[in-house]
């Protein structure tokens, strides 16, 4: 069997004092050349796991191996973190605020080959669509632009693995999608491996080749985004990936769904509003404008269901409709 690219073997890390914290014994294998997204609610251990993979934290048990070699922890190294990896977080404090974007990026490269330095910096700026920013001072950039500089600084030294810890949180949607696309493109062109931590479903679903779901420091499930979105193994995962309705068994019965499980989950796109001659006994309580669609919050007998609607203006609050449930999941 070939040596795994990056592997965590029975790795755990608890922080002193806290009851449930850090990472329970975890095994992970990450292959070369793709995007793995780690998702989980706040405090589930995402950042801890990323730091363990990078070598910024030493595990209490087990070890992390990169190409078959144990990654050394911060106590064993002068500069913590593995040389073949780069990590970008929301903090951009290592940027030189009063230097130009160009210098912030170029300064990551050795000074002995000025021509190579020039060419590589130009290429990096092009790849991340930053050429127009080259002569601006970092202090004059927006938050999103600073993030781009941080990512350029990480990528220009050709790391084998790029670790991203929620780096796009502060960044507006249109910018975010551009950056996500550019990173995907770089992964495709160079075989870079990316591990990204995020709690934004849209981001992980569109970017990742593989999803890892973390709950209370443990991996709950993993798989490709499409399969996982369509049929998550756990209620927790469904709630992370979509703005779904969760009904108890009793509530499901009131809606006419027979189920023996504790919960049923209905995604907004699995419900249709229909007008029938007989029972229109669901009331539209809210119409939430979402840009290219609307979310309808529909209620009957104290039960509310979220429904995706792309027929703008068809409903106003107070309208009565009937609902057709096309699909649901049982947990």
Q: Which does 304 bind (CB under 5 to 8 A by kind): ligand ADP, Mg ion, none?
A: none
Using the rule CB under 6 A, which residue among 4, 21, 249, 283 binds ligand ADP?
Answer: 21
β-bridge pairing 320-325 and 271-274? antiparallel
Q: Which is nearer to Mg ion, 47 or 107 (CB)?
A: 47
Selection from 110, 113, 199, 185 nearest residue 151 by Cα: 185
249 secondary structure, DSSP code: H
Contact status: 43 vs ligand ADP (CB under 6 A): yes
Residues 6+ apart with CB under 8 A from 176: 144, 168, 203
x/- track of binding to ligand ADP for residues 160-189 (CB under 6 A): ------------------------------
| Closest distance of CB 88 from ligand ADP, Å | 15
- Cβ contacts of 10 within 8 Å, gap of 6 or more: 25, 26, 27, 61, 62
- Position among 47, 65, 131, 170 found at the interface with Mg ion (CB under 5 A): 47
Quick one: which segment of 47-55, 118-126, 134-142, 211-219 binds Mg ion (CB under 5 A)? Answer: 47-55
Which span (32-40, 46-54, 62-70, 320-328) binds Mg ion, by CB under 5 A?
46-54
Q: For residue 65, give the 3-state DSSP assignment.
A: strand
Number of neighbours of residue 210 by Cβ within 10 angstroms: 17
Q: What is the dihedral of CA 57, 60, 63, 66, to 10 degrees?
A: 0
| One residue of 44, 89, 127, 147 binding ligand ADP per CB under 6 A | 44
- Minimum distance between the CB of residue 25 and ligand ADP, rounded to whole angstroms? 15
* Closest CB to Mg ion among residues 47, 131: 47
Please compute, for residue 202, the number of CA atoms within 13 A of its CA located in the half-sphere on the CB side: 9
Footprint on this chain of Mg ion (rule: CB under 5 A): 46-47
Footprint on this chain of ligand ADP (rule: CB under 6 A): 15, 18, 21-22, 40, 42-48
């Amino acid at each position: 069997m070939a040596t795994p690219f990056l592997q965590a073997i029975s790795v755990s890390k608890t922080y002193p004092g806290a009851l449930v914290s850090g990472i329970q014994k975890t095994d992970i294998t990450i292959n070369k050349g793709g995007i793995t997204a780690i998702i989980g609610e706040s405090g589930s251990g995402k950042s801890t796991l990323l730091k363990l993979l990078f070598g910024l934290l030493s595990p209490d048990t087990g070890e992390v191996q990169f190409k078959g070699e144990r990654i050394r922890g911060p106590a064993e190294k002068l500069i913590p973190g593995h040389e073949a990896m780069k990590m970008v977080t929301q903090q951009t404090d290592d940027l030189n605020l009063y230097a130009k974007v160009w210098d912030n990026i170029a300064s990551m490269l050795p000074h002995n080959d000025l021509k190579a330095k020039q060419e590589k910096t130009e290429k990096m700026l092009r790849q991340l669509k930053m050429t127009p920013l080259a002569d601006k001072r970092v202090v004059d950039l927006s938050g999103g632009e600073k993030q781009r500089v941080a990512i350029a600084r990480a990528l220009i030294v050709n790391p084998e693995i790029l670790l991203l810890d929620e780096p796009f949180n502060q960044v507006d949607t249109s910018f975010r999608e551009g950056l996500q696309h550019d990173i995907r493109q770089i992964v495709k062109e160079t075989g870079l491996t990316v591990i990204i931590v995020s709690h934004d479903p849209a981001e992980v679903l569109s970017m990742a080749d593989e999803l890892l779901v973390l709950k209370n420091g443990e991996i709950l499930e993993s798989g490709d985004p499409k399969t996982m979105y369509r049929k998550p193994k756990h209620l927790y995962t469904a709630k992370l990936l979509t703005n779904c309705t969760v009904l108890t068994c009793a509530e499901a019965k009131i809606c006419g769904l027979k189920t023996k499980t504790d919960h049923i989950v209905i995604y907004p796109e699995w419900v249709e509003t229909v007008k029938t001659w007989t029972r229109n006994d669901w009331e539209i309580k809210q119409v939430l404008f979402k840009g290219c669609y609307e979310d309808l919050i529909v209620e009957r007998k104290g039960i509310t269901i979220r429904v995706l609607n792309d027929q703008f203006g068809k409903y106003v609050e107070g309208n009565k409709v009937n609902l057709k449930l096309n699909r649901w999941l049982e947990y």
